[in-house]
Amino acid sequence: MNTESCHEVAVRRCAERHQAELYALVLSARAITSAVVRDAQGFSLLVASEDADQAKQELAAYDSENQGRSTERKHVGSTPLNIEFLLAYWAVLLFFFAAARSDVLSIEWLEIGSGRVDLIRAGEWWRTVTALFLHASGIHLLSNLAFGTVFLLLLSQVLGPGMTALAVVAAGAAGNTLDALVRPASHAFIGASTAIFAAVGLLAALRQNWRGGRMFSTLRDWAPIAGGIMLLAFLGFGDGQTDILAHIFGFLSGICLGGLLARLDRPWLEDSPAQVGSAWASGGIVALAWLCAILVRP
């Protein structure tokens, strides 16, 4: 069928039928008769030639009204679950826990990777990263695996797995750096919880900014903040071994980084090369940090 005969005019061409049918519904609400036909370029929306100008105006108005909503859905919506991402998180933490307990390769992993404030101030920056992968006990590890799975899954549905990994490592290391700046030189820290709080902060900031900068007004907007408070309470305000300041700094670092990421005009969710590149970058940062730790060990 010729899509542009003397009696009918194509006012829209769409790659998918459901989009063309949505436009047809819009025109129907304005009492404009239309038809969706398939052609070499996808699907065309046809109207009578005398209705073409009005149809184009109605569709332009519809697109203008819904542009902001579609952008919000794009950013705040979810991507498919990435089980491989979560499995990698579990595998990495379990590996370093086992390696530290048995001194794999004759390396004292806790000694070379813990966040010793005196050594960080002396220039061993990599400890702000390596400390994120070490845990003092099985309970410590399991709590971070459980909570990390929840918040990383939520964040990966917003940022994508690759960018989630890079953002969480960066914000977690930033939180540890801030902690090292205010703690006494004798202080040391380990654990992924700072990075988990960074993920909570990232999630909260992204939801806030991608909803037009308005204040939190729904339960879903408050959920990341409430989750972070409950997580902080669960990990123990009263436990002397819990580094509350590191958790707070991780959360604040996530807030700041999330606010910055939300303002970048990039098609994150559809950009597979960016996701892959970010995943490699996060792995490279972690590998470089541990390489430095191994090479400079006594």
Q: How is residue 166 written in tokens? A: 């890079």
Domain boundaries, the chain: 8-76, 83-293
Cβ contact 16:42 at 8 Å: yes
Distance CA 55, CA 33 (A): 9
| pLDDT range class, residue 169, cuts 50, 70, 90 | very high
* pLDDT over 80 at 295, yes or no: yes
CATH of domain 83-293: 1.20.1540.10
| pLDDT range class, residue 75, cuts 50, 70, 90 | very low
* pLDDT over 80 at 209, yes or no: no
Number of residues assigned to the chain: 298
* pLDDT over 50 at 234, yes or no: yes
| CA within 13 Å, CB half, 142 | 3
pLDDT tens-digit map of 185-198: 999 999 999 999 99
Q: What is the DSSP letter of 270?
A: G
pLDDT tens-digit map of 258-279: 988 887 755 555 567 888 899 9
Distance CA 93, CA 165 (A): 13
| pLDDT range class, residue 79, cuts 50, 70, 90 | very low
| CA within 13 Å, CB half, 179 | 34
Q: What is the pLDDT of residue 77?
A: 44
Q: What CATH homologous superfamily does 8-76 map to?
A: Hypothetical protein rpa1041 (3.30.70.1530)
Q: What is the pLDDT of residue 243?
A: 76
What contacts 281, CB < 8 A, 6 or more positions away?
A: 166
Distance CA 220, CA 43 (A): 37
**pLDDT mean over 146-164:** 89
**pLDDT mean over 9-27:** 85
| pLDDT range class, residue 1, cuts 50, 70, 90 | very low
Q: What is the pLDDT of residue 215?
A: 40
Distance CA 242, CA 246 (A): 9
The amino acid at residue 168 is V
pLDDT tens-digit map of 87-142: 999 999 999 999 999 989 889 999 999 999 999 999 999 999 999 999 989 998 99
Distance CA 56, CA 38 (A): 19
| CA within 13 Å, CB half, 25 | 6
Structure pTM? 0.69
Q: How is residue 176 written in tokens? A: 């540890």
Query: To the nearest whole number, what is the mean pLDDT of the chain?
Result: 82
Cβ contact 74:146 at 8 Å: no
Q: How is residue 37 written in tokens? A: 């036909």
- DSSP count for the chain of H helices, then E strands: 12, 5
Q: What is the pLDDT of residue 206?
A: 83
**pLDDT mean over 68-80:** 46
